[in-house]
Amino acid sequence: MKRVIIITLLFLLLAPLLSIAQKTVTVTVIPGDVPDRDIPEGNVLESDVPESYIIKDGDTLWEIAERLLGNPFAWTLIRDNNISIEDPHWIYPGSKLILKRLPEKPAEDEPLEDITQDTEKNKEERIAKTQKFLESLFGEVEKEVEQEKKTQEQREPALEIDGLIINETKTKIGEDFYNFFYNLWAAPDGVENYTIYIVEKPLGAMGSWIWIKVNDTFVYRNRHKPNDFEIETGAKHGITIVGQYLFRRENDERQLSGQDMSGTGIY
């Protein structure tokens, strides 16, 4: 009788522990990306995953992976499948994400390295794709600038107004940059014969390239994201560069005009 009572008490004490052990499974993750943790077995896989997703306000890659892929640790798959994501902390509402279905659940003794492993080869491939994208982008910009130059040359000459700041932007990022530049700009004394152009090349979720051109010479280029402080700082930096360029150009012209350069072939 005592033996039966002892066995019954042991069973009552151990039953909750056995129940908990049967309900959880450990998922292997990349060290440094997210901490090790146990998650419910039912959330590891998701059978119905859409091909794409449009980012909404307040979304993060972690929450998107948890909601649509059934596994928050799979945010790295979304990042790897979308080369436009340079920084996983910066994603933009309205951008389209290509989603990647999680593989079938492996056997208990099979590790999940194929899901979470981010090898050096993958990093090199992402870098190569980004470089190829940027080279293609710069090529398009150069073609557009050249075409614009030809178009300007073909137009009839018009009355030139000195010191204009021309807005050639296309999005709110470019418009904000132009406004900051225009409101903060102070024309240098004694400098003439110049027109400033603010040119923009939108990059979608990656922000926009902003160029500043003085007459036919590009003097400033930088990529800006939709952040007022960053845009204002860039505009102030652009003003400094333009001012220095105009000062050097005026200085050179004065030095040349003060010497007899006829027949030298310099200008």
Residue-level pLDDT at 141: 84
What pLDDT score does 255 carry?
A: 85
Residue-range domains of the chain with CATH: 25-118 (3.10.350.10), 160-257 (3.30.160)
Q: What is the pLDDT of residue 29?
A: 33
Q: Label residues 126-150 b or e (16+ Cβ within 10 Å = b).
A: beeeeeeeeeeeeeebeeebeeeee
Residue 35 is predicted with a pLDDT of: 39
The pLDDT of residue 55 is: 92
Assess contact for 28 and 112: CB atoms under 8 A. yes
Q: What is the pLDDT of residue 142?
A: 85
pLDDT at 104: 47
- pTM of the model as a whole: 0.39
Pairing of strands 208-214, 165-168: unpaired
Q: According to the model, what pLDDT value does residue 41 have?
A: 41
| CB-based burial label for 62 (10 Å; 0-12, 13-18, 19+) | middle
3-class state of residue 119 by DSSP: coil
Q: Can you give the pLDDT at residue 234? A: 92
Number of Cα atoms under 13 Å in the Cβ half of residue 174: 20
Spatial contact of 81 and 99, defined as CB atoms under 8 Å apart: yes
pLDDT < 70 stretches in the chain: 1-48, 100-119, 154-160, 258-267
Locate all alpha helices (DSSP H) within the chain, ordered by sequence.
2-23, 61-64, 75-80, 113-116, 120-154, 172-184, 228-257
